Structure 1
Amino acid sequence: MGRASGVGGRRFDEGDRVLVLNPESGGGRDTDDVRALAAGRGFAVREAEGAAVVDAARAAAEDGASLVVACGGDGTASGVVNGIAAADAFDEVAFAVVPGGTGNNFAGNVGIEGVEHAFEVIEAGEERRIDLGRATFTDADGTADERLFLNSCVAGLTADASERTSADLKRRYGPFAYVATTLGAVPTYESLPLKVEGPGDGDPWRGDALCVFIGNARGFPRGGSVRLTQANVEDGLLEVALVSDASALELAGEELLRRLFRGETANIELRSLPSVTVTTEGEPIRFSLDGEMVGAERLDVGALPRTLRVRVGERYVPDPSG
């Protein structure tokens, strides 16, 4: 069997490099180019969307792939990572991403500038170990489920916000697009009664909250910006932002976001924590996990330090604050 070059002098058997392609991401505009580039580099291409992305990535890892690439948006990338996790293969399988979705936030965080550049990084880019976020959500009956995430988990959003949020708004503002959509549709939005606590927190925060942002690769906007920033994704910590007391807001869309993050309408508390627990003191929590809407009575989130082996581009900065 022929062999192909890999990162850092490592060589791959043809066929042990798998690309999981979501043909629906980004309207499918780049799928033909991706298939051609993948075929020219010895990738086996497996098409999947929705929950099938996790199954496809798990099967690839269990079949002996040493590199599994996600082609799609942030949801596809997250699905592939969860598939590698389901195969218990983080030490054996490296990960890479080809931006094919609407927002492609994670790809931008790790220095990927486009489809062709992504394949260049796969061949010659540096491999880093980065953190993952692990979210465990528990229903009222005690049933618990666990999922990993790359970018962020945002608690405090309505159930249908994901469906009602435009692709353009999601591309520009990430998970906060759901906040704008929710509040724009409900002129007298009622904040959520939540309890938020970190490890060993003897005095947890209790009160009404608009949302709780928990970032892994994405950081909370600062300085009046409404765009998320890159977080340090190798420090073993989560960026936690609590946006409190957002009742009776009557603004919508971008203007709401601009005023919100300038501190004109809400109190924002920022922390860096290895883990955080969010508990509802009212209705079940709705949250966006890398763009997927989920509901729970309790949310436990922790960082998994330097768990994922990922190929990064030249513009990737491990510590953006430095």
Structure 2
Amino acid sequence: MRVLVRNPNSGDRATSKRAATLAEKRGFDVRDSTARGETRTLAAEAAREPDVTQIAACGGDGTLNEVVRGVADADALDDVELGVVPAGTGNDFADNLGVRGVEHAFEVLARGERRRLDLGWVAGDERPFVNSCVGGLTAESSRKTSPAAKKRLGVLAYVLRTLAETRTFEGLELDVRAGADDDASSGSDPSRERGDRLWTGTALMVLVGNGRRFPGERMRQANMEDGLLNVVVIERAPTIDYLARGAADRLLRRGASHLTRLKVPRLDVRHAGDPATFSLDGETLSRTDITLRSRPGAMRFRVGEGYDPAPEEWGKSKGN
């Protein structure tokens, strides 16, 4: 049996309704969430049913995160094939999979190539991120963007909130280190030694990606099959007027000295101050210390023809 878990309130309601109609015509059992957090519960319940072979999330990146989290709760990531039908405010992961819209999503779910994809994981909290974990300016913007604004303005709501935050956000005092070299990176032992220091200083943002597109030339996509997290630390650049036209291009341009890029299997980020806001696929949490790791090949997905399993490689660098 194939199940579509849908958040009717995510993104464009008309698109979500069309997706439900298409799903029913294709034999999916459509299950709608009616309360916050229920998407995760519905996914976990479906994953525990012995005849369920495929679970697709209908919504945005946040809905997909909840579905994957539910399947992980059921300890069924190895048993259930996952999919996504893009109908949310942010659909970055669907784009990365080569899914070009609602109708195409169902073609991919039926006939797409099967791939094993990495899963980002927050140790200690034991919760996943399929696309990215972001700390700093954009995470604060995500936290302060109201559901009403997201529904009315879509992605523009995040942009407007980020512009409002830019002049008052002071940055994060971060110490970024490689995680432990063994499974102690789960965070269960707070006394464990932290790994080598990779970066320290004041950051405007830290972007940790499993599948997100990254700042720089052609917005290079992270490799979702290499067992590594792609990291970009963005320092505050005092010469940039953040509200000026083209500020984002100058801030994120390839070769900028205030960008540091890393590729690591595990990462430990500490903030010297009050808990900082981190956004996991659009859902926020506050931490002074967060440990992230990659779970290689943990998810089974079908992908579209436009999926690139080995995008342009990049490693540790400063200003590249």
1:57 aligns with 2:48: no
Please report the RMSD computed on the Cα atoms of aligned residues, expressed in angstroms: 2.6
Distance 1:71 1:218 in 2: 19
Kindly state the Cα deviation for residue 103 of structure 1 after the two structures are TM-superposed.
2.4
Separation in structure 2 between the aligned mates of residue 289 and residue 257 of structure 1, nearest angstrom:
22
Query: Which residue in 1 is equivalent to 2:192?
Result: none
Tell me whether 1:38 sits opposite 2:23 in the alignment: yes
Aligned to 2:196: 202
Equivalent residues, number: 293
AA partner of residue 162 (structure 1): R
> Which of 168, 193, 199 is the aligned partner of 2:173?
193
Q: Which amino acid aligns with 1:148?
A: P
Structure 2 residue identity aligned to 1:55: T
1:22 aligns with 2:23: no
1:91-128 CA-to-partner distances (Å, cap 9, x unmatched) read: 11000111111221111111111111111111111111
What is the CA distance between 1:206 and its match in structure 2? Answer: 1.9
The 3 A distance-change label for structure 1 pair 159 and 220 is closer
Unaligned runs of 5+ in 1: 1-15, 137-143
Matches within 5 A, 1:302-317: 302-317=293-308
SS at 2:108's partner residue? helix
The residue type equivalent to 1:25 in the other structure is S
Give the share of equivalent positions with the same residue, in percent: 41
Q: Provide the C-alpha distance between the structure 2 equivalents of 1:184 and 1:248, rounded to a whole number of angstroms.
A: 19
Provide the residue aligned with 2:235 in structure 1: 244
Query: 1:253 Cα deviation (Å)?
Result: 7.8
The structural deviation recorded for 1:266 is 6.4
What do residues 256-298 of structure 1 show as CA deviations (whole Å, max 9, x unaligned)?
3222113798611001111111001112111111011110121
Q: Residues 215 and 254 of structure 2 are in contact (CA less than 8 Å); yes or no, is this contact kept in structure 1?
A: no
For 2:133 and 2:121, the matched residues in 1 are separated by 10
Q: Measure the CA separation in 1 of the matches of 2:108 and 2:65.
A: 19
SS at match of 1:277: strand
Contact 1:245–1:267 (8 Å) recurs in 2: yes
**8 Å CA contact 2:221, 2:312 repeated in 1:** no
Q: Distance in 2 between matches of 1:121 and 1:79?
A: 21
Matched, 1:71 2:51: no
CA distance in 2, matches of 1:272, 1:186: 27
Is the 8 Å Cα contact of residues 121 and 128 (structure 2) preserved in structure 1?
A: yes
For structure 2, the 5+ residue unaligned runs are 181-194, 314-320
SS in structure 2 at match of 1:230: coil
Q: Deviation of residue 182 (structure 1)?
A: 3.8
In structure 2, give the amino acid aligned to 1:218.
Answer: R
1:150 and 2:150 correspond? no
Counterpart residue number, 1:230: 221
Deviations 1:20-74 (A, max 9, x none): 0110122312133222211112111110163111111000001221110100001
Q: TM-score, normalised by structure 1?
A: 0.83
Does residue 164 (structure 1) correspond to residue 145 (structure 2)? The answer is: yes
Q: Does 1:89 align with 2:37?
A: no
Distance 1:239 1:110 in 2: 17
Contact 1:181 1:253 in 2 (8 A): no
The answer on whether the counterparts of 1:188 and 1:250 sit within 8 Å (CA) in structure 2 is no
> Quick one: distance in 2 between partners of 1:41 and 1:310?
18
Choose 182-191 or 107-116, whichever is displaced more.
182-191
The partner residue of 1:47 within 18, 32, 36 is 32
Moved more, 247-256 or 66-75: 247-256
- Shift of the alpha carbon at 1:244? 1.6
User: Is the alpha carbon distance of 1:192 and 1:246 closer, same or farther for their aligned partners in structure 2, counting shifts above 3 Å?
Assistant: farther
Displacement of 1:247 after TM fit? 6.2
Q: CA deviation at 1:181?
A: 3.3
